[in-house]
Each structure stands twice: as structure tokens, then as C-alpha cells.
Structure 1
Amino acid sequence: GFDVLYANFANGAPAAAAEFLSLLRELGHCEEAYQKGLAKLAKRVGALKPGAATGSFAPCWEVLAAAVDGLAGAHALMSAAHLALMKEAQKYADEQAKAVKAFKDSEHQKTQASSASIKTFSAQVQAKRQVCQAKQAEAAAAASEKEKRKAVAKLESAAKELGFNVEKYNSVRSAFVEGMKKSCAYFEEMETQHLAKMLDFVDRFLEPIASAGTRLVEAKGQL
């Protein structure tokens, strides 16, 4: 119940945000290396423009230089978009960590405590019930009236203890049920917001890639 929902809240969303941020960082390293390679390539091709190159193919170097420049420009825009996204992803990851930390001071912490108490009281009720059953068996097996009275007295005492523990269990369970309703609504809201945010990140991750492809096609058409 609560433990599963809390584990998903405390580990699922922060882990997803952290992994996505790690992906963007690795991509940033790749894009940085690629940009350096493009810069070297652009410099090399630029040196072969008409006037620097000879032969019938010489004019084509200008076309290739324009293509490399177009590729570099498209890639620079894509890298800038991913860098901006990485900053937002970092901010979101920090917010997730703060949300988990703040949860410990929220009203839902009482529900978590009630969840643990239910397990304790449930075990106590079961133990007291077994004691009652044992005392009942002793009373039924009593050989004399005196032994029977003693056994019945012990049974009544055990029954009172059982009733007391049942009352405590029901009280804790009632508080847990009410708290669980609020906690479930909270966890659902947080999960919905998390998925919406992450899907928005995915869209923003893919958009500059698609835009870069479109710009490259347009550049090819101009050539």
C-alpha cells in the first residue's frame, strides 16, 4: 500500500529526472566533440575554395564549404537547444530532491507512521487472539470446578486485553484509511505532473533534432 506508493514517489521520479539529466550531459559531451570536428572540417574545406584550389573540381569546393557551414549552423542551434533543456532538467531534478525531502515534514508522514503501526498492532491482535484461544481450551479442559473458575478468569483477562488491542488497531486503521485517501491523491497528482514534465522534456529533446534535419534539407535545396 503506502510503502509501494512512497517508494515510487521517492525513487521513481527523482531517478528518472537524474537519468535524463545524465543523458543530456553525455549528449553535451558528444556535441562538443562533434562541433570541434566540424570547425576543423570547415577550416579545411574553406581553404580549398576557388582561388586556393586548382583543377576542374575547384568550384565545387565552394558548394561543399557552404554545406559544411550549413551543417555546423544547424548543429549549433540543436546544441544550444539541448543546453537550455539541460539547465531546466537540472532545475527539475533539484526540485524533485527537495519534494522528497519536504515530504518528511508533511502531513503524509503521519500516514507513513500509521502504516507501520498497523503492522505492529495487527501482530499484537493476532498474538492476543491466540492467547484467548489457548485460555478457552484450558477452561474447556478443566477437571474441577475450581480449575474451571481460574481458567475462566484468565480467559476473561485475556479477552479484555484482546479487546483493548482490537480497539487500538481499529483506531490506528481508521486514521490510516483517512490519511491514505489524502496521500493517494497527493501521490497521483505528483506522478501525473512528473509524467507530463518528462514527456515535455522528451518533446523538447526531439524537436531540435527534427528542426536540424529540416534546415539541412533546406540548405541542400539552396545548393
Structure 2
Amino acid sequence: MKPYNICIVEDDQKVAELLQTQLVRFGYEATVIGNLEGIDAEVLACKPHLVLLDINLPYYDGFYWCRRIRQHSKVPIVYISARSGEMDLVLALESGGDDYLTKPFHPEVMMAKLRALLRRTYGEYAEAPTNEDEVEVQGLVLDVHRHTVRSASTSGEIVLSLSATEAGLLRRLMEAQGKIVSRDDLLGALWDDTQFVDDNTLTVNIARVRRKLEELGLPTAIVTVRGQGYRLEVEAGV
């Protein structure tokens, strides 16, 4: 089986080479992006299974490039940055990232995060193919393969794209049929190595899904049940 290809976007050549060496040592292919003026085109040409993306880059920051990549690809993106502020994590996820590593980080922590995300996306924990293309709850329709959502109650047909994480969260809530889904349940369903997941990551992703549903005219569809978790009430949002 051909190894996974990891694309590295890092302006510090020494750090980029260290990351590349580490990934190759663990059996991955690793490509360092050289042209930092056209990162989105370089990444798409690389056809990676996952992208490691620094935030502090010349020309434009990593948030900008993540948004550009997301216009054309749903490839998993993990930010790597010396920034450790909570707002940096929020911006990273808001821009379409899947996870965040704060420098300096232990190589084993990085590899655990990457392995978990690769398994979720492509490996044994990836969503199994089914004959069911869509999940529907009271007019809210999730395309589980294309990662899009629409609402039959929306005036005019609006179809919104979701990240893989957003789609997974929404699907878990929809399949619960209005029952409460705990935070631990959501974390476990989406990130198998939960010991390396900041609880804020779930909070930010829930907020992103809420905003998508608000665009569909469902501003209060995700209900927070204090101390217990979340449930989906589509009728309450109509």
C-alpha cells in the first residue's frame, strides 16, 4: 500500500527538514512546499493526504492559505505554530483547520495526532461506505459523502459545505434523534485520541456548525444542555 503523503508548509527551512525527517522515519512520504507565494496551488498539485500548515508565513498567514485551500479541497489540515493563545486556536478552526499543534511539541504527540486524523479520514475509523447518501431530520438534509447540508424549510435552495469534522458532528447529532449527545460522546466519535484534543476544539466546531445552520434559517437548532451535552431540535430552529 502506498504511504500517506504529508505536505509541509513551513518557512523555517530547518524546522521543515526536521518535520520531513520525522515523517519519513515513521513511514510517510513528506513534501516540503518551496513556493510560499502560491501555497494553495502548490498544495493542490502535491495531492497530499494531510497538510501541516504554519501560521507565521511570508506574504499571507496560514489562516489565509487555509481558507484558500478549503475553496478546492477537504484535505485534513493541522496547524503548527508557536502561538498558544486561545484566539489563535479559534481562528485556526474557523479558517477550516482540523487540529492545532503548539510549538515546541513532542514528536510523539505530533505523530499521535496525525495518525488519529489519518485513521479518521482514510483508515479503519473512516466512515464506512453505505448505500445511504443522506441523513434527514425534519427537513434538514446532510449529504454524508459530499459533506453538504441543506434545509427543505429554507426559502430557495441553499447548499452549504461542511468540513469533515463539522459533517461528523452534525451527523452524530442528527442520528441521536433529539436525544442528548454528551461532549465525551462527540469527542470519542470524532477524535479517537481524545487525550490530545483540547476541549475548546469541540466548542469551536459546534459554534461553526451552529453558524451554518443559522444560514439555513435554523439559528437555535443545536441546544446546549448544561452539564450534559447537546441535542438537535430542528423544529425549534425553524
Q: TM-score, normalised by structure 2?
A: 0.21
Structure number with greater Rg is: 1
Q: Which has the higher strand share?
A: 2
